[in-house]
Structure 1
Amino acid sequence: MISYIQAWLLAIPDFLEFETNPLDCLLQGLVSTSGIFVLCYLLRVVLFIQALSNEDGSNLKECTRPAELSANGWLSAAFQFCCLTVNLALVGSRVASLVVLEFSLRLVSSWATAGPTSLPSTSLQILVHSQFSLGCALSCSLRFLHDGAPKRSLNLLLAAGPSLLLAGQCGRLWRHVATLYPLHSSQCSCGICVSLLTSGHTLQAFLCHSLKLSFGVAVIAAISTLNHPFKSASEALRFWTPLTVCYALLVVYVQEEQRRCSSGTAARRTAVVRLGGLLLLVLTVGRWTDVLHVLLCFPGEACCLIPSQDLQALVAQELIKEASCNPKQTANSDTYSEESPELVHLHRKHKSAGIPGREGISQMSGSDALPPSRDLKSQTSCTVTKQELCSRY
């Protein structure tokens, strides 16, 4: 027993050893964290504009105070940025590749099962849950693209500068939209707000296409990274067989969990299950350094999910609203089912208010049909206000 503990203590320096130069790892963490913040800020812009467009116009002049927003939001964002940078710099390329492959398989399965009748908020839910996986994808892609480069540190430094600048500009855009968009969009006195008013609906599609492109490159890098140490096909087969079985079980579980409930608690629970599955996988076919890197993924995932709880709540409410307005699409979609407690609560609320539910919709025809979706949206207002959406930043 003592010899076993001594072997563990002697192996600790190997666990903490960087795969490359520590400066390169830090620069990769900066670029990856900047990508996460760009996604988060643009998501907040999209959801804020949608929240304002769903209102009747009486609360457009209500705004949070910009001084409180900048003070509290800047400190929390800076702390989150530092934690994610250190975390992504420490996570190895093999574990980052495993996270990328798991999320890519879940992404393809979600979009394949949803099909063309998927609800618009389904893509928003995927974007909110992809923050840490996107950081691992960027980190894995950077390691693969700069592998063996003679000026690797200089290239990463040149990439970190524009990444930080882009993240800062997206943060300024979000603060501008959160404080001045209700006023400028009504008076048409700001070019940025007018552009978002006219073409802001394309921002969500741009984020989805960017996510597909990022993970498309990252999947190639992940497969190459995982196959690199294998010298024969039998060794690769012993690794990929349990990996495929583990990922298939994880995808089935995550889809069932999202179909049953889509709250923030469910998102954190599925994240723990996914990383726990990866931990069991690396304990079976991985290395001891991979075990440590998977354990580092738990605080990294928490740094992304905990500050975005308001986004998760708002997306869940948008899914419930779209499910009540589009029952046929909800029946074919894997995002929600009739067992969802939020959807049952909303149906009971509509029934008490005299609004027919899914059964009543299926029996109505002709002049008894429901009014257009815009009228239904005006009757069911969103419970998450823009003050709650802005409370984080």
Structure 2
Amino acid sequence: MISYLKSWLPSPLSWVFWVTDPVDCFLQGLIGACAVSVLCSLIRIHLFVLCSNNPDKEREKNQLRSQRQFLELFHFFLLSGIFAIVGARVASLVVLEFSLRAVSMLLSQNKGGAGVSTKLFLLCQYSLGCGMTTGLSYLYEGASHRTLCLVIGAGLAGLIMWYTLKLVHHILTMYELHSKQRYCGICIFLLTTWHSIPKLLCNMLKVTFGIADFAAIYLINKDFLSTSEAIRFWTPLTICYTLLVIYMQEEQQQSPTEQMVYQTVFVRMGGLLILTLTVGNWMDVFHIIVSLVGEGWCLFRTGTMLRICHGQPRRDEVSPSYPARGFPESHVDTSQ
């Protein structure tokens, strides 16, 4: 039916039915949005406990509490639609670009002996969604029951997201009371292990982006008919990514502000846009514009958490920097 309608449309309007399997693309978008929601929920819990353990962070703690259910629902379905629209080719480019940027950031941090920055998790939101859709496109390519597998995957992802959101609501409303009275097992467990959440997220993202990077290289290369075509694409891509990483590293070292985060989004997407204009097609250009909107919206929705991360010491992920409420201060190392 879709191919029949597409054949009657003029070529400039044929992008309305750009996908051959809209149901599968929508299910992949749902799974990607669920992954982003779980990531943001765990980061919110980590930052809330961090602010609760510091009396000077009362304003930031109240900001983390203020969340509107309607906006969260709108954010989820908007991301689902964006991930469903963005094609596997552009999603693969986004995944590879973030992987290179993340490796560069981690190497620069390890030179100073710092742990994984919580801000890096917020910066990878959109790339994580693209990584999920890219990995699913690769894993289920040619599968006989692809739609059924995606329905099951979307159901499991939705269940995990629902439990995570319930956990966030419980922590935001009851953590301070339960941690003082030692009444709730979840809050007591979180009281002593909250600083290990970044390490857990780091291990999960390593696996996710490891699969996504392999899938991205495969999905990009399968469109080329010869080695010369692949070389003509990968050469400018490598140069573009290298220049982008060098530029962003220098800028962040000189002026690591919140405004710089949004500026790098436009620079990176602008670089990918120029690349697709030279070696891509017009549909890639459209997907790059959609990706710009998606990543900008992800950062805008987590602006409060980004501001809190900018105000935290670089080693706050390795060990708690402030005495945990409910325990004597002598049991906590406050030397940092």
Which runs of structure 2 are paired with 1:167-206 in the superposition (5 Å)? 167-206=161-200
Taking structure 1 as the reference length, the TM-score comes to 0.75
Note the alpha carbon deviations across 1:365-388, whole angstroms, 9 max, x for none. Answer: xxxxxxx9836x7xxxxxxxxxxx
Give the letter for the 1:156 counterpart: L
Give the total of aligned pairs.
313
Say if 1:31 and 1:159, in contact at 8 Å, map to a contact too: yes
1:53 — aligned with what? 53
2:128 — aligned with what? 134
Say if 1:123 and 1:208, in contact at 8 Å, map to a contact too: no
Cα 1:373/1:258, change in 2 over 3 Å: farther
Say if 1:63 and 1:179, in contact at 8 Å, map to a contact too: no
Say if 2:114 and 2:315, in contact at 8 Å, map to a contact too: no
2:228 — aligned with what? 234
How far off its partner does 1:56 sit? 7.6
Which runs of structure 2 are paired with 1:87-126 in the superposition (5 Å)? 87-115=82-110, 117-120=112-115, 122-126=116-120
Are 1:248 and 2:239 an aligned pair?
no
Say if 1:97 and 1:137, in contact at 8 Å, map to a contact too: yes
Question: CA separation in 2, counterparts of 1:115 and 1:212?
Answer: 16
How far off its partner does 1:167 sit? 1.0
Say if 2:52 and 2:61, in contact at 8 Å, map to a contact too: no
Question: CA separation in 1, counterparts of 2:164 and 2:231?
Answer: 44
Give the letter for the 1:106 counterpart: R
Bigger-Rg structure (1/2): 1
Cα 1:262/1:171, change in 2 over 3 Å: farther
Give the letter for the 2:36 counterpart: I
Which runs of structure 2 are paired with 1:1-393 in the superposition (5 Å)? 10-55=10-55, 69=66, 73-115=68-110, 117-120=112-115, 122-319=116-313, 374=334
Question: CA separation in 1, counterparts of 2:13 and 2:113?
Answer: 49
Say if 1:132 and 1:300, in contact at 8 Å, map to a contact too: yes
How far off its partner does 1:198 sit? 2.0
Say if 2:51 and 2:61, in contact at 8 Å, map to a contact too: no
How far off its partner does 1:11 sit? 2.6
How far off its partner does 1:201 sit? 1.9
Note the alpha carbon deviations across 1:12-53, whole angstroms, 9 max, x for none. Answer: 333333333111111000000000000001000011111122
How far off its partner does 1:63 sit? 7.9
Give the letter for the 1:22 counterpart: P
Question: CA separation in 2, counterparts of 1:298 and 1:18?
Answer: 19
Which blocks of at least 5 consecutive residues in structure 2 are unaligned? 1-8, 317-331
Question: CA separation in 1, counterparts of 2:117 and 2:62?
Answer: 28
Question: CA separation in 2, counterparts of 1:104 and 1:299?
Answer: 20
Note the alpha carbon deviations across 1:226-268, whole angstroms, 9 max, x for none. Answer: 0001121111100000000000011111112221233321111
Once the two structures are aligned, what percentage of the paired residues are identical?
40
SS of the residue corresponding to residue 144 of structure 2 reads coil
Question: CA separation in 2, counterparts of 1:232 and 1:11?
Answer: 27
Is the deviation greater in 205-214 or in 250-259? 250-259
Question: CA separation in 2, counterparts of 1:146 and 1:289?
Answer: 23
Give the letter for the 2:334 counterpart: R
Cα 1:271/1:97, change in 2 over 3 Å: same
Give the letter for the 2:18 counterpart: F
Cα 1:63/1:179, change in 2 over 3 Å: farther
Is the deviation greater in 32-41 or in 44-53? 44-53
How far off its partner does 1:170 sit? 1.1
1:352 — aligned with what? none
Question: CA separation in 1, counterparts of 2:61 and 2:271?
Answer: 43
SS of the residue corresponding to residue 17 of structure 2 reads coil
How far off its partner does 1:106 sit? 0.6
SS of the residue corresponding to residue 20 of structure 1 reads coil
Say if 2:96 and 2:213, in contact at 8 Å, map to a contact too: yes
2:326 — aligned with what? none
Which blocks of at least 5 consecutive residues in structure 1 are unaligned? 1-8, 323-371, 378-393
Question: CA separation in 2, counterparts of 1:51 and 1:274?
Answer: 32
Give the letter for the 1:167 counterpart: M
Cα 1:186/1:79, change in 2 over 3 Å: same
Question: CA separation in 2, counterparts of 1:239 and 1:199?
Answer: 46
SS of the residue corresponding to residue 98 of structure 2 reads helix
Question: CA separation in 1, counterparts of 2:315 and 2:148?
Answer: 49
How far off its partner does 1:114 sit? 2.2
Note the alpha carbon deviations across 1:126-145, whole angstroms, 9 max, x for none. Answer: 10100001000001001111
